[in-house]
Amino acid sequence: MNYDPVCGMEVLRDIKSDNDKTVEYKGSNYLFCSSSCVDKFNADPEQYIHSGNKSGNSQVKGTDKTTKTSKKTSNNTDHISLIFTCPMHPEIRQNKAGLCPKCGMSLESITPTTDEDNSELTDMTIRFWFSVFFSLPLLIITMGGVVPGINVGSWLGEKPFSWLQAILATPVVVWGGWPFFVRAVESFKRWDLNMFSLIGLGTSAAFVFSLFALLFPSQVPEAFKIAGQAPLYFEAAAVIITLVLMGQVLELRARSKTNSAIKSLLKLAPDTALRINADGTEEEVSLDDVQLGDHLRVKPGGKIPVDGEIIDGHSHVDESMITGEPVPVSKKIASKVTTGTLNTTGSILLIAEKIGSDTLLARMIELVNDAGRSRAPIHKLADKVSKWFVPVVIAVSVISFTVWAIVGPAPTLVNALVVGVSVLIIACPCALGLATPMSIMVGIGRGAQEGILIKDAEALELMEKVDTLVVDKTGTLTEGRPTVQSILISNEAEQQGLTENDVLLFAASIEISSEHPLATAIVSSAKDKDLQLKQVDDFKSITGQGVSATIEGKSLLIGNDRLIEKQGIDITSLGSQAMTMRENGQTVIFITFDGVLAGIIGVGDAIKKTTVQAIQQLHHAGLKIVVLTGDNATTARVVAKKLGLDDVKADVTPEDKLNYIKELQHKGHIVAMAGDGINDAPRTCKS
């Protein structure tokens, strides 16, 4: 990266491919943001070199070229080292606030903060309502020739009526439109023409001509007059300024709402942490003061301040912001915890392993922030078109004026002026320059508010082409909070004197080590019955199938029928009952003791209230929807039938899910994968 030695702006251009804005002086290459800065430098190079702004040495006013932003992603930000960029043109970067030389928008800080600066929105809103106050009556009184009964000119007389128009229009154009004229002048100085170039030219031409005609009517050529009077365009200039102000207010409001997504993520982290000092005392410190290796106490109901590892205590932590799972996860010594997650029960002591910008939450914020400024292919195309669009429009305006002045109907110059100004105003590339990047900002920001992190603008654009949606079942289509609905024991277990509570107790003792929602349902059911869980040894998780463990010397298996049958265990004694459970939409979990089927537990998970409507909307959009689940095919078909899904793939492992997505992609489908937690990430990333 290099910095313009004249204005200090960071310039992200390749020297070899942009020779017109590069100057070699005393053996060093200096890169510039615009031709005007090149001219200033050439006039007196030593002035800018000795000031400390050395582009060739990649320095700006004596600071390091990287101009580091704050490493702390918290509520406090190092404002001294902020870098500012344009929301629409992320290649524009500088070490101070200002206006974008390409589009005229206000630059904003790259480093996200919880401090919301709405000064520009407030200013534009005041200017807008101020302009409405003057331009609305101006518009009404000039409608005499269009709306019957409104003819203020005939009441006041021609001269007073003209001055009234000027009095109402001048505050709007001069004060309301001042920011636009400043941006227009800057665009011509830098020769980075944009929408404000056209607005400035069009409105100023209409206003200046009208003012000249009012002050010096005798100097106006006859060709400009209608019935001996020069026409006035005060209301056109004022109304256009007011409409553009309204557009700016709407745009800034959209940006503010988009930025609120990042602010809501920032607020997930607490402002302070409870640090344990070397002498054992507790001290509440700012999050910025926390260092790697610090011991931090997190009390029940408190948020985890940093990424770390528990070194003392036991608790349950709500990690729904990360995993999507609504049930708090059991945490004990050596368990990892993440910034922003909520400690729900016990007090824990953790050691800080990642702080500031290295935490998972900070990376999530950075992802949303960078994605909002990334450029989709259509955005790059719009930039290319915009580069030539404004000069072409100005040329067309001049040509139109000339042609109408020569061959147009009388009064020729009046019509020519109207046509020329109309081309400038109507051709204003607001949609071309703003709609594409604004839609990206709003889309990514809205997604973040809904818990969806979009990695870049290209991914957002690609979503429009998706034709197949693959979804997980548990926690995605369903509530993710299943409950135990049925418990049956086998004849063999009954002969050994085991009861339904015994089967539930053994299953819960093992499943408490699992984070799956089905396991949580079993544990919750056991706790509701006040069953005292037993000590578990040799716990092993079998991905996509179940778990195994040893309790009181008994070897237990808990999982789906595929896991049990692989061990050669007969499950036919409860086969019909299991089928009935599945037909009722329950997931069946088999439990075996020492190689013998002990019983089955039926767990049901209600379909989310919003799922049916969401599926209908997706079908209406033309998407094919496939559910991939590790559950039994019968259970999965019940859910699929209720929802009207297009296809079901059940009894599949995570690897099977990934392979199925690859197969769909190989057939030419654009696939999206929707899951409710990090466990779905491998399939999602391949979609």
Active site residues: 472
Query: Which amino acid is it at 197?
Result: S
Contact 445, 641 (CB under 8 A): no
- Cβ neighbourhood burial of 621 (10 Å; 0-12, 13-18, 19+): exposed
Residue 190 and residue 34: Cα distance in Å, rounded? 6
3-state SS class at 92: strand
- Cβ neighbourhood burial of 528 (10 Å; 0-12, 13-18, 19+): exposed
Query: Which amino acid is it at 295?
Result: H
What's the Cα-to-Cα distance from 652 to each of 27, 473, 609, rounded to whole Å? 65, 12, 26
Least Cα distance to 179 among 247, 235, 236 occurs for 247
Contact 209, 216 (CB under 8 A): no
What is the 8-class DSSP label of residue 99?
Answer: B
Residue 465 and residue 476: Cα distance in Å, rounded? 22
Spatial CB neighbours of 333, under 8 Å, sequence gap ≥ 6: 310, 311, 312, 313, 314
What is the 8-class DSSP label of residue 667?
Answer: T
Angle at 263 between CA 260 and CA 268, to 5 degrees: 130
Structure tokens given for 441: 């900002």
What is the 8-class DSSP label of residue 512?
Answer: T
φ/ψ of residue 261, rounded to 5: -65, -45
Q: Max alpha carbon distance in the chain (Å)?
A: 117
Spatial CB neighbours of 459, under 8 Å, sequence gap ≥ 6: 371
- State the SS3 of 283-298: EEEEHHHCCCCCEEEE
Strand boundaries in 408-476, DSSP class E: 468-471
Residue 39 burial (CB count, 10 A): 11
3-state SS class at 275: strand
Least Cα distance to 197 among 206, 187, 205 occurs for 187
Residue 99 and residue 84: Cα distance in Å, rounded? 10
Structure tokens given for 343: 């400690």
Residue 607 and residue 636: Cα distance in Å, rounded? 12
Residue 98 and residue 88: Cα distance in Å, rounded? 14
Contact 599, 490 (CB under 8 A): yes
As a whole number of Å, the CA-based R_g of the chain is 34
Least Cα distance to 397 among 436, 425, 376, 372 occurs for 425
Angle between helices 377-407 and 436-449 (to 10 degrees): 150
Residue 378 and residue 382: Cα distance in Å, rounded? 6
Spatial CB neighbours of 145, under 8 Å, sequence gap ≥ 6: 151
Give the torsion sign (CA, 251, 254, 258, 263): positive
Q: In DSSP terms, which residues pair with 541 in a beta bridge?
A: 547
Q: Which helix (H) or strand (E) holds 266?
A: helix 234-266
